[in-house]
């Protein structure tokens, strides 16, 4: 009898010892799903080898027009944390979460950021939220702190790792911001004008005092009208704007036509809503921003 009780007790101890929540040990990283590649990069920096991150919308892909597949629901169900941008960026996410039956932790990384609102089609009182808050590095500092908090809640054992990584990355973001200001401030304000594919640089423009005009609105889902395009072409010609760019995840047809109609040479691709492939210039958020700023400054100098 005593021997039988000892065997049962030993078995119970082994079961308890074997049960360790996912992510609390380095041998089994915590599974995290990020809505798109830029967020996945931020989570990877903060979580390092304590997390395994999957991006639903990968490099060079457009999250505005993303259509989830059945495999995405499976990916979500295997995750302990879902990280999304919020601010209306992933309009498809709520339906995907509901259809998958996900019951785990969710994080809107933009929580705490003051959103920008834009008038829609020039109509009074009709506005929409600009979701592209990551285009301002000081906003990304808030993203990083939110990610650190969420990871720590699920994996308290990794708290010091997440704090150290977040603090180090915020230092890098501050250095990026200081460098960007020095680069852009070297250009006279009158020359700080840029044309891009869609209106994704609002936070960047406001933070660095740059005028950025776009062929499309804040989403690539809607096409601009002929009147808006014609007005943009007239402005490019009138103000002699040379800084015209397309984006890595956008359809180049419209901006290419605008460049042809104005006689302007398109600048190199900018990385806006997605990272690039690993062997290209926008393979991480920091690389993306350094690339964009260098190209924008070079082009604005020619205005």
**Per-domain boundaries in the chain:** 18-111+131-178, 186-300
pLDDT score recorded for residue 249: 52
**46-82, pLDDT tens digit by residue?**
999 999 999 999 999 989 889 999 999 999 999 999 9
**Is the model's pTM score more than 0.75?**
yes
CATH for 18-111+131-178 (3.40.950.10, 3.40.640.10, 3.40.50.1980, 3.40.50.880) = 3.40.50.1980
Residue whose structure tokens are 């690339």: 291
Query: Can you tell me whether residue 6 is helix, strand or coil?
Result: helix
pLDDT score recorded for residue 8: 29
**80-91, pLDDT tens digit by residue?**
999 999 999 999
Contact 228, 199 (CB under 8 A): no
Would you say the CATH fold of 186-300 matches that of 18-111+131-178?
Answer: yes
Instruction: Give the Cα-Cα-Cα angle 272, 276, 281 (nearest 5 degrees).
Output: 95
User: Which residue ranges in the chain fall short of pLDDT 70?
Assistant: 1-27, 121-124, 198, 215-225, 248-252
CATH for 186-300 (3.40.50.1980, 3.90.1150.10, 3.40.50.720, 3.10.20.600) = 3.40.50.1980
Give CA–CA dist 257/253, Å, rounded.
6
């Amino acid at each position: 009898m005593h021997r039988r009780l000892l065997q049962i007790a030993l078995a119970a101890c082994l079961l308890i010892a074997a049960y360790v929540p996912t992510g609390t040990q380095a041998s089994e990283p915590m599974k995290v799903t990020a809505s798109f590649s830029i967020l996945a990069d931020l989570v990877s920096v903060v979580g390092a080898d304590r997390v395994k991150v999957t991006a639903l919308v990968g490099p060079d892909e457009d999250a505005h027009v993303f259509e989830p597949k059945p495999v995405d629901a499976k990916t979500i169900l295997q995750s302990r944390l879902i990280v999304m941008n919020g601010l209306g960026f992933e309009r498809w996410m709520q339906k995907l979460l509901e259809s998958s039956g996900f019951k785990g932790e969710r994080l809107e990384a933009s929580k705490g950021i003051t959103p920008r609102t834009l008038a829609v089609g020039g109509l009074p009182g009709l506005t929409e939220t600009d979701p592209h808050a990551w285009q301002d590095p000081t906003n990304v500092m808030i993203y990083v702190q939110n990610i650190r908090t969420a990871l720590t809640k699920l994996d308290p054992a990794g708290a010091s790792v997440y704090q150290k990584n977040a603090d180090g990355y915020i230092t890098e973001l501050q250095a990026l911001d200081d460098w960007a200001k020095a680069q852009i401030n070297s250009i006279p304000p009158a020359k700080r004008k840029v044309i891009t594919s869609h209106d994704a640089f609002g936070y960047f423009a406001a933070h660095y005092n740059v005028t950025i005009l776009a062929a499309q609105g804040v989403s690539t889902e809607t096409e601009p009208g002929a009147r808006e395009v014609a007005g943009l072409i007239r402005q490019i010609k009138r103000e002699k704007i040379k800084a015209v760019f397309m984006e890595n995840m956008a359809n180049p047809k419209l901006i290419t036509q605008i460049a042809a109609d104005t006689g302007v040479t398109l600048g190199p691709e900018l990385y806006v809503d997605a990272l690039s492939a690993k062997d290209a210039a926008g393979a991480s958020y920091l690389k993306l921003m350094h690339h964009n700023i260098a190209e924008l400054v070079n082009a604005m100098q020619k205005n």
